[in-house]
């Protein structure tokens, strides 16, 4: 009930921290040096994981203290500067960790005057530590594999393979229980190891600097979610241990205690698989309830499939004396479960792709879309191998009950196919790990398909014809985090179009950010302009001009602009 109520709440957090204001402003010339640098974001970011660097033209650091949160505004970070800075230009480089764990960074300049001279060519830092750093990816992958395998092995032991004890003489489920315990222990270790690597990556510290990292584990929403995953998984492990302890598979009917223990453990497993989606992209994508349900079903079906495959291999090696009888009993039941799991996995994967892909071309033009294609390809390979088990191994093992000579070849074929299937499914989990570590393309990405021109980098002076008008787009200097000048000259039949209402909308096409809107003022016959620091990040921007002439219907013109730092 608590989870249902929580999921019903609207999601207020954005996917990435967005710089909305700087003091001093970008590229401004100040008559006196400032005492602090203040950066305001659209959400609160953790100062202990943020970087604000201020350097002069020679690369000397001018800050005198640590980054702190402003007392008057929790969304503002402040860093003190050395007193009496000399005249000249200074570079501010910033890096922050968003609520979903993704680092964002940017840079801009300002000058201390009154005669700072020409702006030098600064060497802008670029920290490559991202959510796809190899150490972070590998530990995240190990966490998902171990947690999913533990849950799948538990379902295999408690549900799918349970009738084996009554149907095959001298059979045992002990090996499955041991495999579950091993996976559970690995999961309990892998989760905090991943949290350590992710926190070290965010704070730019060594993974062995535990005295500095442990206090940072819960300072972000993402870190708190990983801690909650560890707690939830530990509770599942305890519930599963109790369920296996009271379970008596030799009895045809479960006791009340067995039913309660099994139900509690399965509900705990379901709760564990809610946490990753609630801490990731699913919780940031509307409609939130539907995307979270897709993500949860995706995790459930993948866990049952992966854990069941590992369980079959465990049974294959552990039941050498009664191998054929054991496999003949378990494989048909697991084949039905696996078929349902693959179907749900594919269906929910398609549903998630529809939710996160704003346009079809995003599948091959963005890293997120390319990861989806790789994941879909691996799922196809795994499904092809699984069909071999369904159509070849399963019928032969069933027939081996009447024709024993078919059993050994069928068991060997099963081992080879299942081993290959496990490898592909583990690779599939890695592709999903990469996918969940990348930011999905924002809805504004779809705007690119309706652009009438693509401009930049550098100063823009582009003339296009649209809706019977001649439009000249002017952007100078077209730099991110700088006060740029935006102008639009409108003519029709060689005459300037005067008195129009022109609004300019800004949408970042590569990252989820709030839309900005500015009203342009007519500064000359048919020329509408405005100066604004609207290009706050490097990358592709959609500049949408909404034009309402005095005579004639209103129209829009979209320009894709590449802004560099």
Q: Is residue 229 part of a domain?
A: yes
> What is the maximum span of the chain, computed from C-alpha positions, in angstroms?
97
CATH classification of the domain holding 532: 2.60.40.2480
Same domain for 138 and 97, yes or no, is: no
Same domain for 105 and 167, yes or no, is: no
Same domain for 476 and 409, yes or no, is: no
Q: 């459930």: which residue's tokens?
A: 300
Give the angle subtended at the CA of 20 by the CAs of 14 and 21, to the nearest 5°: 150
Same domain for 425 and 450, yes or no, is: no
Domain hosting 547: range is: 445-563
Q: Are 37 and 207 in contact (CB under 8 A)?
A: no
Q: Is residue 2 part of a domain?
A: no
Report the C-alpha gap between 157 and 149 in whole angstroms.
12
* The predicted structure's pLDDT at residue 381: 94
- Residue ranges, the chain, pLDDT below 50: 8-14
Considering its fold, how many domains does the chain have in total? 3
Same domain for 345 and 433, yes or no, is: yes
* The predicted structure's pLDDT at residue 107: 80
Same domain for 374 and 249, yes or no, is: yes
Same domain for 386 and 461, yes or no, is: no
CATH classification of the domain holding 54: 2.60.40.1220
Q: End of a domain among 441, 473, 492?
A: 441
Per residue in 70-120, pLDDT (tens digit) is 988 888 999 999 998 999 999 888 888 866 566 777 788 889 988 888 878
Q: Is residue 124 part of a domain?
A: no
Q: End of a domain among 441, 463, 479?
A: 441
Q: Is residue 118 part of a domain?
A: no
DSSP code, position 25: P
Same domain for 155 and 64, yes or no, is: no
Q: End of a domain among 441, 468, 495?
A: 441
Q: Is residue 192 part of a domain?
A: yes
Same domain for 462 and 559, yes or no, is: yes
* The predicted structure's pLDDT at residue 533: 74
Q: What share of the chain is helix, strand, coil (3-state, %, to 5)?
A: 50, 20, 30
Same domain for 436 and 329, yes or no, is: yes
* The predicted structure's pLDDT at residue 129: 61
Q: Is residue 336 part of a domain?
A: yes
Task: Please tell me whether the overall predicted TM-score, pTM, comes out greater than 0.75 for this model.
Answer: yes
Same domain for 320 and 407, yes or no, is: yes
Same domain for 216 and 362, yes or no, is: yes
Return phi, psi of residue 379, to 5°.
-65, -40
């Amino acid at each position: 009930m608590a989870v249902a109520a929580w999921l019903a709440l609207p999601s207020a957090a954005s996917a990435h921290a967005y710089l909305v204001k700087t003091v001093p402003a970008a590229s401004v010339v100040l008559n006196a040096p400032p005492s602090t640098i203040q950066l305001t974001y659209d959400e609160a970011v953790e100062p202990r994981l943020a970087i604000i660097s201020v350097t002069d033209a020679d690369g000397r650091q001018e800050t005198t203290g640590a980054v702190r949160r402003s007392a008057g505004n929790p969304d503002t970070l402040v860093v003190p500067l050395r007193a009496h800075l000399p005249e000249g230009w200074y570079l501010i480089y910033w890096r922050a960790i968003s609520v979903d764990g993704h680092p964002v960074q940017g840079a801009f300049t300002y000058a201390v005057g009154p005669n700072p001279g020409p702006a030098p060519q600064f060497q802008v830092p670029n920290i490559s530590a991202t959510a796809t750093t190899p150490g972070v990816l590998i530990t995240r992958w190990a966490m998902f594999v171990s947690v999913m395998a533990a849950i799948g092995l538990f379902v295999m032991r408690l549900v799918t393979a349970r009738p084996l004890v009554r149907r095959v003489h001298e059979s045992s489920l002990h090996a499955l229980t041991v495999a579950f315990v091993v996976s559970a222990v690995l999961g309990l270790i892998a989760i905090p190891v991943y949290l350590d690597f992710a926190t070290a990556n965010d704070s730019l510290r060594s993974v062995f600097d535990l005295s500095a990292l442990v206090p940072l584990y819960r300072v972000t929403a993402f870190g708190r979610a990983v801690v909650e995953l560890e707690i939830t998984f530990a509770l599942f492990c305890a519930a599963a241990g109790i369920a296996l302890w009271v379970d008596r598979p030799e009895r045809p009917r479960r006791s009340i205690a067995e039913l309660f223990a099994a139900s509690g453990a399965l509900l705990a497993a379901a709760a564990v698989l809610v946490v990753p989606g609630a801490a990731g992209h699913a919780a940031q994508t509307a409609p939130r309830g539907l995307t979270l349900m897709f993500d949860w079903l995706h995790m459930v079906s993948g866990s049952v499939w992966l854990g069941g495959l590992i369980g079959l291999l465990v049974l294959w090696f552990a039941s050498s004396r009664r191998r054929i009888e054991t496999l003949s009993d378990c494989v048909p039941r697991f084949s039905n479960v696996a078929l349902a799991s693959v179907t749900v996995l594919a269906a929910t994967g398609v549903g998630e792709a529809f939710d996160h892909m704003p346009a079809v071309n995003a599948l091959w033009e963005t890293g997120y879309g390319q990861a989806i294609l790789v994941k879909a390809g691996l799922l196809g390979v795994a499904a092809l191998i699984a069909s071999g088990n369904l159509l070849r191994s399963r019928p032969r093992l069933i027939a081996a009950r009447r024709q024993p000579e078919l059993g050994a070849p069928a068991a060997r074929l099963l081992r080879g196919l299942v081993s290959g299937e496990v490898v592909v499914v583990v690779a599939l989990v890695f592709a999903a790990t990469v996918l969940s570590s990348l930011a999905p393309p924002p809805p504004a990405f779809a705007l690119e398909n309706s652009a009438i021109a693509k401009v930049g980098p550098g100063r823009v002076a582009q003339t296009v014809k649209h809706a019977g008008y001649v439009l000249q787009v002017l952007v100078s200097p077209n730099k991110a985090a700088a006060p740029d000048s935006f102008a639009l000259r409108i003519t029709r039949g060689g005459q300037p179009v005067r008195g129009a209402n022109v609004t300019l909308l800004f949408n970042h096409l590569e990252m989820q950010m709030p839309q900005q809107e500015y009203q342009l003022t007519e500064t000359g016959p048919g020329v509408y302009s405005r100066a604004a620091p609207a290009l706050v990040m490097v990358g592709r921007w959609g500049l949408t001009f909404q034009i309402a002439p005095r005579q004639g219907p209103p129209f829009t013109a979209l320009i894709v602009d590449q802004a560099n730092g």
